[in-house]
Each structure stands twice: as structure tokens, then as C-alpha cells.
Amino acid sequence: MNLLAAETEVLAPLASGWFLENAWLIPVIPAIAFALIILIGKRLPMKGSELGVASMLASLVLSAGAAYQWIQRVNSATEEQFVEPVIRSWSWWRSGGFDFGIGQHIDGLSVVVLFVVAFISTLVQIYSLEYLRGDRRYTHFFAALTLFSGGMLAMVLADNMILFLLGWEVMGLCSFMLIGHWWEEDANSRAALKAFFTVRTGDVGLLVGISMLYFAANDWTQENLGLSGFSIRGISAWALSGEPNSTVIMVAAIALFIASIGKSGQFPLHTWLPDAMAGPTPVSSLLHSSTMVVAGVFLVARLYPVFFVGLDILGSGGNLIMFIGAITIVISAALAFVQNDIKRVLAYSTVSQLGYMMLGLGAGAWLPAVFHIFTHAFFKACLFLGAGSISHSASHHSFDMKRDMGGLRKVMPITFTTWIISTLALCGVFPFSGFFSKDEIIDNVGNNGYNTFMIVGLVGAFMTAAYMTRATYLTFFGEPRGASAGHSSHESHD
């Protein structure tokens, strides 16, 4: 609670730097690249893909610079001094007493997620150069993929809830275009529509929550901080001030959490996420690792004071966030175990891991939950790209493990190695990254007194090991089946 209360302390300013002061360029560059790809992409030598890759490389450099300068800023702080976020804002327009602004809010949470999004997006863009080669909508794919990443970056950097909502909705639109990229097949178009409308159901909660927070907090934030009721910093300070009506902040927190459930595919709005596998595999990798599905978890982490007070985190035997996270962990892991499509196994795995993040946030384990966002992004992106490599090179574009895979460790030794490393990380095996994030969530849940939920987390961890062992065996061991049977073990397809 002391860490949260530090938001309202007034301390001596710390040095920032060019990258921190100009972090707003990170989402702007992909947005400009998107416009250029649409306008002139088809006339360029690489059909506009070079603009997408270049823009994400630029955003990656800026994100890395911002992360480095933030670390320097933290290191320059004395003892227990709170490191204030670097906030810059400009007025967009004023109407009817409403002040709509644009700006950046850079803190530890921002720099972590910015770097993850930019890094994974860059790798996925490069991977897509060959994976989508020859596709009839190659240019449009890179335009949508670039804007998709730009929307997530804008949301992460937003200093107010209007800009946050803009980035949130841009991602929703781009996901519709990317999941339905091959819309000629009915299954793909249906999957895109299902994702779009399911997430829109949750988005109603976001609109309700933002509106409630604005009208409840605006007078206090204007009077005490000189900030709009849309300001993320203002809302957080108001939530911790003791001023909020308990019913109002509870209802607002529930409304916002409904939006998080929809975006992050939590129970009961989880059904769209496995169907989203209809899109190209690079989309699945980006969507499931570091962008859209992480947005719901990020919303809870960003407005944590609202949820902390509104849902009485650490003040009772459990809360809505914990219950939803725990249910999602078990149900999704069970569903992953009975899938034959390798991408659907990974999709349900993502839903389950997002459940761990929600469980951690609900139990007051904010830092382990955010760290799991970071670690999960890398090993889940690697697993999805490995699945794409298998489909592209060894199983004639099939993702059916039982029918068209088996024995591929001899045919694809590099993919097999990266898959095993990522699987061990996902299962939380020491010394891989998942051990230091997922296991830390389970440990914190138990230490905070939620023993029943800790047991659920442990059961989910064993189930994770079970379904990933099954997927690994069906794909890489045994005798080659179906499409993979025609590949010689002496011939590498990596």
C-alpha cells in the first residue's frame, strides 16, 4: 500500500533524458509507417514491408533508450525515494468543459511493456517477410500489423484514459483485419467476427468505467492536482485519497475489469481467443505474446489503485480478479490438453497464463504479475513462431499434431531446440524465465494468505507441464504421420 501511496508524494525531480522526454515518438513512427504503406506500399520494392520493419526497428531503439534512461533515473534516486513518472501532455481540444489531451506517461511499467512490444513486433515483422511472401494482400498485411503494434504502444504510453481508449480500439480493429486476413474461407471470417464482437462486449465495460471515474474524480483532480478526471495519474491519486464513494469506485472497478476479461480472454469471455488462430501464424504470435491479449492485464496493472481500493485487494478472503483468474487457469489448461491443433494448444495456454497474471494482481502480487507479462511474451512468441515454422516447412501448412506431425526433432533440430527451451520456460522449470515469474506469483499468493488460490496455481502448473509434454511428444517424437511422413530425417527443414 505504501508503494501505491507514493503516487501522491511530491519529491525532488530526477534527471530524465532525451529518450524519456520524447517517448511519444515510439507509437507515432509506426502510425506514420502505416499511412505510408497504405499510400505508396505497393510501389516499393518490398511492397511496403520494408517500412513496417524499419518503423518497428526505430521504435525498438527508442524503447531500449527509454528503458536505459529509466534505469539510470531509478539508480540516481536516493534510498526509498519514489521515482516519479515522466509525464508530458498537450491539450488536444476543449469542448463543453471537457479537456481532451494527448501525452505520455512513462514509468517502470511503461518501459517494460514498451520494450517487449517493440522487440517482439520487430521479430514478427522480420519473420513475416518470408512467411507471407507471395500473399495476395501482402501490403495490407504489413499495414495492419504495423498499426496493430502502434495501437498497443500508444495505449501503453497514454497519460489519459481517452488516449488509452484510442489505442485499445485501434488494436481491436486491427485484430479483426488480421484474424480475418484470409477471409475467403468462412471459418476465418467467422473467427474474426467472433473476436470482434466478443471483445466489443467487454469494451462496454471500459466506456462505463472511464465515464464513472471521470465524473467521480474530476472535481477532486482539478482542485488538488490541476489535472483532468481522465488523467491516469489523477485517477490513481484520487483512488488512494480516501475521497471516493465505496460503491462508485467498486462499480467502476468491476466495469473496467469486464473490459479486461474481454480483451485478455478470461472466463467467461475466453472463447474468441482460440478461434483467433484462423489468422496467419505471425499474427497469432504477436497477438498472444505482447499485444492485444496483454492489454486487459495492463489495464488492471495501470489503474491498480482503482482496483486495489474498489475490490478491496488484500482486505478479504478473495476478490473478483482472483476468482476469475483461478477459474481461467484450470479451465484453459484442461482444454489445452485435449486439443490436436498445435496453435489451439498454445492459444489455451496463453489464456491460462493470463489467468496467472490476473491471479497475481488480485492477490496483491503486482510486481510478479508484471514480470510474468515480460517473460511470457518471449517464450510464447517463440512457441508460436516455432509452430509456424513446422507448418510452413514440414507439415504442408497443417497444424494437426496427431494427423500430420511426429518425429520432427530429426527433421527440424533448430526448431526442436527452441521449442524445448520455450516449453521449459512455460512450465516454470529452473533456471528458465518462467520459474522466476509464474512460480513467484504462486509463492506470493500463498504468502499473502490465499492458500486455496495457491493450490489452484500449483494444479495449473502441473497441468501446464502435462499439456506441453503431450504437444511436444505428438509433434517431435514417435513416427512421422501424414504430411510429415514424406520428409527425410537426413534433410533439415529449419
DSSP codes, 199-253? HHHHHHHHHHHHHHHHHHHHHHHHHHHS--TTBHHHHHHHHHTT-S-HHHHHHHH
pLDDT at res. 252: 96
| Mean pLDDT value of segment 397-408 | 80
Residue predicted with more confidence, 277 or 146 = 146
- pLDDT score, position 167: 95
Q: Rounded mean pLDDT of 70-88? A: 84
Domain limits for position 322:
312-494
Residue 249 lies in a domain: no
CA 390, CA 134: separation in Å to the nearest integer?
19
- Count other Cβ atoms within 10 Å, centred on residue 268: 11
pTM of the model: 0.92
Contact 356, 325 (CB under 8 A): yes
CA nearest to 116, candidates 75, 73, 64, 151: 64
In a domain, 416, yes or no: yes
Give residue 10's pLDDT: 45
Helices 366-393 and 413-426, interaxial angle, to 10°? 160
Neighbours of 479 (CB within 10 A): 8
- pLDDT higher at 485 or 454: 454
**CB neighbours of 157 closer than 8 A, spacing ≥ 6?**
23, 24, 26, 27, 104, 105, 106, 110, 114
Mean per-residue pLDDT over the chain, rounded: 89
Which distant-in-sequence residues (6+ apart) come within 8 Å of 398 by Cβ?
Answer: 391, 404, 405, 482, 483
Nearest C-alpha neighbor of 373 from the set 461, 309, 437, 281 = 437
Q: How far is CA 71 from CA 22, 77, 258, 300, 484, in A?
A: 16, 10, 34, 24, 48
Banded pLDDT at 159 (limits 50, 70, 90): very high
Q: Is the pLDDT of residue 381 over 60?
A: yes
State residue 185's pLDDT score: 83
In a domain, 17, yes or no: no
Report whether 457 contacts 356 (CB < 8 A): yes
Q: 206-239 pLDDT, tens per residue? A: 999 999 999 999 999 999 998 888 999 999 999 9
C-alpha–C-alpha distance, residues 157 and 161, integer Å? 11
Query: How far is Cα 89 from Cα 103, in angstroms, rounded to an integer?
Result: 4
Q: Is residue 56 part of a domain?
A: no
For residue 288, the model assigns a pLDDT of 81
C-beta of residue 306 within 8 angstroms of C-beta of residue 236? yes
Structure confidence at residue 18 as a pLDDT band (50, 70, 90) = very high
Which span out of 142-156, 181-195, 268-282, 288-302 was modeled with the highest average pLDDT?
Answer: 142-156
Quick one: average pLDDT of 471-484? 81
- Note the pLDDT tens digit of each residue in 360-379: 999 999 999 999 999 999 99
pLDDT beyond 70 at 119: yes
Domain count, the chain: 1
- Phi first, then psi: what are they for 30, rounded to 5°? -60, -35
Percent of residues, the chain, with pLDDT higher than 90: 65
Count Cβ atoms below 10 Å from residue 70 Cβ, excluding itself: 26
d(CA 487, CA 408): 9
- Cα(259)–Cα(263) distance, integer angstroms: 6
**98: in domain:** no
pLDDT at residue 473 in the model = 93
Distance, CA of 470 to chain centre: 26
Q: 43 in a domain, yes or no?
A: no
1 falls in which pLDDT band (50, 70, 90)?
very low
Q: Establish if 377 belongs to a structural domain.
A: yes
Cα–Cα dist 410/161, whole Å: 51
Please list, in sequence order, all residues whose beta carbon lies within 8 angstroms of the beta carbon of residue 111, skipping any fewer than 6 positions away: 63, 66, 67, 70
| Residues 6 or more apart whose Cβ sits within 8 Å of residue 480 | 405, 406, 407, 408, 411, 486, 487
Q: Does any domain span residue 329?
A: yes
